[in-house]
Amino acid sequence: MALCSTPCALVVGDGIAGQGAALVLARAGWQVWLALPRPGKPAAHRRHAHITSAAVIARLERSLGKAPGGWAMGRALVWDEAGRREAGARPIIGAEALRLSLAAQAAAAGVQGLTDCTIVPLAHGAGWRWRARGKAGHADVVVDATGSGHWLSRMVGAAVMIEELAGTDRAWSWTGINDGPDRPWLLAARERTQAAVLLREPDGQVRLTLRAPQAAPPDPLAALDRLLIGAGAEWTTWIGSLALDPRPLRHEAPLARRTLVGPDPALPPLLRLGDGLTQTAPRLGQGIAQIAEQLEALAGALAAALPPGQWQARLDALAERRWTGLMLGTGLMLGAGLMLGAGLVRIAA
């Protein structure tokens, strides 16, 4: 095993956070390896429609140096109890398309993939030793981008604590094809217990996400019809025909979860980001925003030539702010629910 001549990093996890971090590090002159997962089931959330804001796209572009790709501005329509509203244009992301675009840019920047990687911390915080199929090496910092399983932090023996906010989100997602006019669009509809987001990517791929409490998948077209009842038949005229894969993917997640790692001076630099740091329910739509914020912070730490041992503190400060916001938000929702409940009791009395 040779120590690297340039600073070197091992990123574990090939999601948007992992590919983004690998790209930021490689562009800053680091030698980067990316440990790939064992081939298996594709991550369910990559089939979901992702919505974000123009500010998040701008942030991604700032830290990644050029357009990240995998997204388009879509015409957004919203249906709810108030009927149909035009919500202007919103950035719509195919999560898998964004991930693949980052992966292609990371590979072009020199990031090398590793399979069957094992990682061991070296004594006295002197970096990490890794071994993969036919290769071995040293890393100054390891990046845990393994998502909500935060697999790596547990594997290397870090003191992991998980905190969850009460509440669960259950969603179903379908992929499909739309033969309507060749333009991206986004359609959102909601009522009290169900919500739907239907996204058409520029190439005609369709992703439908239904948030629904029931354990069995709802009939997607019937659910859309019911949610869009105020729109009558107009929505099908507007959309064109829709062919959906009959096998939906199910996703169930806590409202929010964060992973804390206790300080351990014996552990070499370990950076944690993405869902492995804070995971939020899809309806909160914070995932990509969080990653964009973290990549910007990482790029800032690299530009300021901070040692890797100080990077996590920057990301933790951002995660703490998000968590406080989430707690305040859910506290307000609970408070409003209690007040409403009390009001109803008074009226009934």
> Using CB under 6 A as the criterion, which residues of the chain lie in contact with ligand FAD when the complex forms?
12-18, 35-37, 43, 45, 48, 50-52, 95, 145-147, 149, 151, 171, 209, 251, 253, 274-275, 282, 285-289
Tell me the closest approach of the beta carbon of residue 349 to ligand FAD, in angstroms: 41
In this structure, which long-range contacts are made by residues 124-131, counting pairs with CB atoms below 8 Å and at least 24 apart in sequence? Answer: 124/266, 125/265, 125/266, 125/267, 125/268, 125/269, 125/309, 126/268, 127/3, 127/268, 127/269, 128/10, 128/268, 129/1, 130/10, 130/33, 130/35
The residue among 344, 291, 320, 331 whose CA lies nearest residue 165 is 331
Nearer to ligand FAD, 89 or 230 (CB): 89
Nearer to ligand FAD, 230 or 254 (CB): 254
Nearer to ligand FAD, 35 or 139 (CB): 35
Distance (Å) of CA 163 to CA 59, 253, 260, 278: 28, 13, 8, 10
Tell me the closest approach of the beta carbon of residue 119 to ligand FAD, in angstroms: 9
Q: Amino acid identity, residue 262?
A: G
Q: Both tokens of residue 184?
A: 């991206």
Nearer to ligand FAD, 186 or 267 (CB): 186
In Å, the largest CA–CA distance within the chain is 78
Nearer to ligand FAD, 52 or 101 (CB): 52
Nearer to ligand FAD, 37 or 230 (CB): 37
Tell me the closest approach of the beta carbon of residue 208 to ligand FAD, in angstroms: 11
Q: Which residue has the tokens 């090398």?
A: 112
Nearer to ligand FAD, 48 or 59 (CB): 48
Tell me the closest approach of the beta carbon of residue 28 to ligand FAD, in angstroms: 19
The residue among 323, 302, 321 whose CA lies nearest residue 21 is 302
Q: Distance between CA 256 and CA 258 in Å, rounded?
A: 7
Tell me the closest approach of the beta carbon of residue 57 to ligand FAD, in angstroms: 11
Q: Distance between CA 347 and CA 176 in Å, rounded?
A: 48
Tell me the closest approach of the beta carbon of residue 143 to ligand FAD, in angstroms: 11
Tell me the closest approach of the beta carbon of residue 151 to ligand FAD, in angstroms: 4
